[in-house]
Amino acid sequence: MNFQQKLKNWQDLLNLRLEQALPASSVQPEVLHQAMRHSMNAGGKRLRPVLVLAAHEIFPNPVDPLPAAIAIECIHTYSLIHDDLPAMDNSDLRRGEPSCHKAFDEATAILAGDALQPLAFEILANAYAGDPQLGLDLVCMLSRTAGSQKLVGGQMQDLLSEGNDPDEESLSYIHSNKTAAMIEASLQMGFRVGKEGRNSKKLTQIGRVGHSLGLAFQAVDDLLDVTQTTAQLGKDAHHDSENGKITWVSLKGENEARLLAAQHTENALQTLNAVGGDCQFLQDLIQYMLNREF
């Protein structure tokens, strides 16, 4: 099976499992569950949960990585809902659809994001109850990543930096925590579920792959924001520059941002080689993430 077909198969499987994981839109309070489903079902490439599956495949075992993948996507979608709020990035579009607060209202969007957070940990607790240490490790990985020193902290620094002169130290902090941390966690959680998951050296290495990949991903995102249209992106184009956000493009220009994306991608691939195992799909996925059109 070629890379594109395998990617699509995994995306289809993830969409099915996400559909099953969320409360039905008819469950009271209906509007809350409709809002959760609106944002979860708006589309997206499901790259973070795919990374979970790809990392598990390096040293596979019979333990199902899908619950870990679904949990990652719940946290990611919550973060998108909250990032789009008027008090945050104030974005009207997400994944080609109206943002949650535009499709419903601001209070409902806040609560939809709030509800997706505990759902992620409920999924992990239930799915890995038969291996308490694995379940605990996954909960710790995801909760730490979603907390004040990673995902939320990166968003806070992003807000604090709006309108300021570009600052490489602040930008590196934002990208390492708001973006790269979740990609790092995706690979580490998938790897932890696999056969070599207790190998601390390899777990650290796969985390480094994720960190480099996350930095490359964000550099590409910065480029896409200034080179593509709203229709192509599925979200507001030029939104970062209009809001005074610092990006690699505003700090170093388009050419340097492209070089950074390529450099971080190469770092990810080199570190992945040291991990060993069956990493062909993940190698292809890393290249695919770099070569998103810009």
220-271: pLDDT as tens digits: 988 988 876 555 555 555 555 556 677 888 888 899 999 999 999 999 999 9
Residue 210's identity, in one-letter code, is: G
Query: pLDDT tens digits for 278-289?
Result: 999 999 999 999
Domains along the chain with CATH numbers:
3-290 (1.10.600.10)
Residue 15's identity, in one-letter code, is: N
Query: What is the overall mean pLDDT for the chain?
Result: 92
Phi and psi of 98, rounded to 5°?
-60, 135
Residue 294: predicted pLDDT: 40
CB 245 within 8 A of CB 158: yes
- CA-to-CA distance for 96 and 84, rounded, in angstroms? 13
DSSP 244: T
Query: pLDDT tens digits for 124-173?
Result: 999 999 999 999 999 999 999 999 999 999 999 999 988 877 788 999 99
Query: pLDDT tens digits for 108-126?
Result: 999 999 999 999 999 999 9
- CA contacts within 13 A on the Cβ side of 287: 8
